[in-house]
Structure formats: structure tokens, C-alpha cells
Amino acid sequence: MNFRRAGEAAFVYVSFPNKVLIIQFDFLRAIRNCKKVTEDGSNSPLGWGSGAMSKTQIKNMEEFAVVSGISRPTLSKYFNDPASVRVSTRARIEAALEQHDYRPNIFAVNQNRKLTKNIGIVVPYLADPFFAEIARNLEERCIQAGYRPTLYSSHGEQKLELEIMDSLRGLRPAGVLFAPLGRASDRSEIEKFCKAVPTVLFDSNLDGIGEAFIGSDNFSFVSQTVEYLTRTGEPPSFFEMKTPANPNANKRRIAYIQMMERLGFEPNVIKVEGQGWAFEEIGRQGALKLLGAGNLPTNAILCSNDRLAIGLLSACYQLGIRVGRDKSASLRVASNDDHPFSRFTCPSLTTAAHDYENVSNKSAETLFQLIEGGGHLPERTETLFPARLVLRDSA
């Protein structure tokens, strides 16, 4: 048994073979309230009757983080083990506890301690640098908050996605950050999983599944690139896979058509053959056929994603087609995502960028809030972050 003092509160940690029980005592509040009973004659035990509580109650750790100015991961570490944070930080937290009259939900903490400190992070294709970057950010946030993240990749296969969910059930994680395959996913199995395990979806939304979804606003991506290309030259054709692996591609095509019609131009969608996640090769092969036949109606192409655009740029080089925005170029190429390698293509790729930091931070914060709340949020929320146009040499 261990005893720790935290400001007005005291915590007793009782260790059992398979769990730790935390008992919280608030001595100073009890003394104040007992004094109140003797002064006003109230019959309410420990002064919990009318008028005993005058301060506005903070409902959860998220609200306490905002009013105290202390980060959510740091607070989580402190309430799990006050000795795990620096002395100066502990003093700030304890001062904030006294000032704002906040006490953590000890019942919820004890419930969560029945689970492991593991968090699962599931992505559809780790070889895609977009998912590698998001996963890296998510891992860092989980580690900072005192959790042990484990990263899984479905490698674009439904069978592996199902096996990953089975493995996670056995691990009994505190929660899961899940980017589904989308169209290739078994929706009913993911729905069952999310009901059994606290889960936040990111990147690819499955309506009504999971406690929350965090992703990017696909219309924001395409509206910015279409507006820029039409303003600076001929309107673009839209270059995409005929059977895209990621459902975000469909949303981007719809956004392209809407923006072109809104601006008074005729949409032209080019669909290339290919399945799976080898986007660069699919883009290269499709562009070789398209450009070799000379059927492009304008001198501008907007690719559905940067990986397709990298393949298209490779085909342009192979065919001797100069890409760029100077007068010597015969083709302008832009895209969406801001793939980590897009700045290193030749020419460097004009694109609309994901807000990697905010998407990953919000996903992690939402999961921490979900875990703290005992596995459920008041309602399912969807958060979309807008894109940012990045101008480079290709258009």
C-alpha cells in the first residue's frame, strides 16, 4: 500500500495481483464542510446540502487542461502516478487543483486500470508515407500520455484487417485509433469491434461507427487546387483510378465536378485502370497511355492524390513532356495530400496539404477523453480539418 498527497487530496494505492485500486481522500474539503455543519446547523452530511458548493464544477480532464493551462497528457500522467511528473509540474497541478476545485473521476480511473495501458493504432497501408507520418505523430502523442502504442498495418487486405481486430480483442487495449480500409472493409465486423473496444476512427469515415471520426475536409483540398489552376491557366482534367482503394477518392471527384460546374467549366474525369495500393505504378502506366495517345483536352491535370501524380510525372519524363508553370512547359500538374516526398519530385509538386499535426493531435486527444470517460462519449462527433494550398514548380 502506498500513500501520496496531492494538494488537498490524498491518494492511497492498494496493489493486488492483477490490479491497482486507487482510493481518494479529500481531507481539507471534509474539514471545511464539517466546520460548515457546526456553524450553520445544517443536517446535510459533510456539508453537501444546499449552498455547500459555490464553485463551477469542471466536468472532465479536458476542461481542467484548458483552465489550468497544463497539457492533457501531463495531467493524465500525474493522476496515474503523481511521482511520474517533475516536482515543479506537480506543484503547478496541485495549485490548479486547489484553485479550480477539480477532482478526477476516480471510479473511471479504476475501471480503466482493469485494462492495459496499450493503445492500438491501425492503418490501411503503412508503406504509404501519409499513413507513416500520421502513425508517427499518433505514437508520439500516446507515449507522451503514458500509454504503450502498438502499430498495425492491414496492407490493403480485408483478411488482415479482420485478423488485427481479433488480435486487439485479445490484448484488451485501453483504446484504438483506427483508419479502416474503407470500401474493402467488412463494415459489420468493424461495427462489432467498435462496440466492444473504445475506438476513434481517423482518415476514412464509416458513418455511425466508432465513438468519433477525425479527418481532412476533402472538398477543401479540391476546391483550392481547382480554383488556383483555373485562375492561372486552362481548367484541369481530373486524373484518378477507376477503382480507387481509398473512399476519399470518391469525395474528391465529386468536389472536382462541383467546383468546375460552379466556376462555369466542363468537368473532365480521366479514370485509369488499376487496383490496390501501388498508386505510383498505376499512375505511370495510366499516364503513358493517356499522354501517348494525345487525348488530353487541356494542358492541366489535377491528380486525385500525390502518389498518382508521382507516377504521372515519371511518365512525362519518359515521354519527354516538360511539366511546370514557365512558358517552356507544355503541361501543368497539381495534386492533393502533400505527400512527404512531393517536394522532392522533379519538378516539385504543387498540392493541397493535409494538416498532419492537427489531425493526429485531435485523434489522440479524443481517444484519451474516450478512455477517461469509461469508453463512451456523450455523442458521436466528426471533425474535419481544411487543407492548405502549397505552390511549387509543377503548376
Which residues make beta-bridge pairs with 23?
Answer: 12
Q: Can you give the three-state secondary structure of 332-386, one letter per residue?
A: EEEEEECCCCHHHCCCCCEEEECCHHHHHHHHHHHHHHHHHCCCCCCCCEEEEEC
Q: d(Cα 72, Cα 87) in Å, to the nearest integer? A: 17
Q: From residue 104, give the alpha-carbon distance in Å to each of 46, 107, 192, 194, 200.
A: 20, 9, 30, 26, 22
- For each of the domains in the chain, give its residue range(s) and CATH number, in order of start: 2-112 (no CATH), 119-217+357-386 (3.40.50.2300), 218-353 (3.40.50.2300)
Residue-by-residue pLDDT tens, the chain, 395 positions: 544 444 444 544 444 444 444 444 444 444 444 444 334 444 433 333 333 344 556 777 788 888 888 888 888 778 777 777 888 888 888 888 888 877 766 445 544 555 578 999 999 999 998 999 999 999 999 999 999 999 999 999 999 999 999 999 988 899 999 999 988 899 999 999 999 999 999 999 999 999 999 999 999 999 999 999 999 999 999 999 999 988 789 999 999 999 999 999 999 999 999 988 999 999 999 999 999 998 888 999 999 999 999 999 999 999 999 999 998 999 999 999 999 899 999 999 999 999 999 999 999 999 999 998 889 999 999 999 999 999 999 99
For the entire predicted model, the pTM comes to: 0.70
Write the CB contacts of 309 (distance below 8 Å, at least 6 apart in sequence): 239, 283, 303, 333, 334, 335, 342, 345, 349, 351, 394
In the chain, the amino acid numbered 315 is: A
Q: Are 105 and 60 in contact (CB under 8 A)?
A: yes
Q: d(Cα 183, Cα 350) in Å, to the nearest integer? A: 28
What is the residue whose three cell numbers read 519524363? 317
Please list, residue by residue across 57-68, b when 16 or more beta carbons sit within 10 angstroms of its beta carbon and e when fewer do.
Answer: ebeebbebbeeb
